[in-house]
Structure 1
Amino acid sequence: MAKSISRLIIIVLLAYAAWIVASPHVALRNMRQAAERNDAQAFSSYVDYPQLRESMKVQLQQKMHREAGAVGGFLGALIMNPLLDYLVTPEGMQTIMLEARLADKPRRGQDAKQEEAAARKKTHTSGSYDGWSRYVVEIKHDDGHSLSLVLQRHGLSEWKLSGIRLP
């Protein structure tokens, strides 16, 4: 009896550990599916908008400051802050997803499957844990462009997009 209880506990703990490890992948899959369905509400449930907005503001201000000096950084902040405040919201994401969906329509002479296959060949993704509560997905394109999506753990197994690391 005691052996069967300890085996059951071990099985439950192993299953839970597997879920903890797999949970960021599940969240990413659900985000992608919501984006493909153009379901902004479902997509938004996987985004921490205030944290994402702040992350992007800091990065863009630093980039503007490096490339254009203090005045450029100040002017960039005046322009970028309101733009990010609009874009990094559920409504802004809805607009971005709608525009992306319109842009993804197949061109003449090329069906959707061919275009999707070509896009997959050009994009490489990899993910890794960056500590216990952060998971980073690197997206690299064959043309040299890249960015990273940062997911932050909320609770034990819920993940939300909380940052985008720009190149």
Structure 2
Amino acid sequence: MSRISKSVLTALIVIAAVAALGLLYASPYIALDRMKRAADARDAETVNAYVDFPLLRESLKEQVGQLLTRKIDVRKSGNPLALLGAMIGAALIGPLVDSYATPDGVAAILNGIPPRGDPGEKPPAPPSPDSATPGTAPSAQQSPPVTSAPAQPAPKQPPQTTAGYRSFDTFTVNYRHGAGDARYSAILKRYGLFSWKLVGIELNG
């Protein structure tokens, strides 16, 4: 092999190594983007590929339980009503986990709407495909409203997020100022070299 050929081969190897390292570093960001797009579109098949639902369920159960404990704090209160509230809250954990360990729940988590431990809480439903789009003309049978419609509230600002590696195999997305000024983190784990899955959340308030 000539000296030029060896130089070209060496350059190609270096380029391939740099590209592989770049992909290795960027892989959780790519997975997060694809996961969010799939969750927002309620593409269950794709969401399933990016979420470890058994681990997510365990994380939700633990985190919501701790959230309820902080809310009621039975250990510091001798009020029997507080104990009753704790028992009721514990009974709500299962349905709440069931509702958030879904594509709807994943979409909520990735859009700044974590579970808050409220009775009957469910993630927001996806937008209806039958809802009217801006600029659609009303049908002839529709009569104009008698009173003017109330002003629409200002759209909610998206949550402030920061993302980064916690370790080689753990990647976190930290949310600030989401719904109700929520502060929490979504946890992704590495599966293989380039694949990542959502495995849990950390509720901080």
Instruction: State TM-score, norm by structure 1.
Output: 0.76
In 2, distance between residues paired with 1:93 and 1:137?
A: 13
Structure with greater proportional helix content:
1
**Cα contact 1:125–1:140 (8 A) shared by 2:** yes
For the pair shown, the structure with the greater C-alpha radius of gyration is 2
Which of 8, 12, 15 lines up with 2:12 in the alignment? 8
Structure 1 residues 109 and 11, CA, compared in 2 at 3 Å: closer, same or farther? farther
Answer whether contact 2:50 2:196 (CA < 8 A) is retained. yes
Matching residue within 3, 13, 22 for 2:26:
22
Q: Which residue of 1 aligns with 2:203?
A: 166
1:99 aligns with 2:99: no
SS in 2 for 1:137: strand
1:141 pairs, out of 174, 177, 195, with: 177
Give the match's secondary structure for 2:173.
strand
Structure 2 counterpart of 1:84, one-letter code: V
Cα distance change, pair 110–139 in 1 and its aligned pair in 2 (3 A): farther
> Residue 101 of structure 1: SS of its match in structure 2?
coil
TM-score, normalised to structure 2, is 0.63
Letter in 2 for 1:132: F
Identify the residue that residue 123 of structure 1 maps to in structure 2. 159
What is the aligned-residue RMSD (CA, Å)? 3.4
Q: How does 1:62-81 map to 2 (within 5 A)?
A: 62-68=66-72, 69=74, 71=83, 75-81=88-94
Whether the aligned pair in 1 keeps the contact of 2:187 and 2:202 (CA below 8 Å) is: yes
Mapped to 1, the partners of 2:44 and 2:103 lie a distance apart of 7
> How much identity, in percent, do the aligned residues show?
32
- Report how many residues are paired: 159
Q: Does 1:150 align with 2:203?
A: no
Greater CA deviation, 45-54 or 28-37? 28-37
Distance apart, 1:90 and its partner CA: 5.5
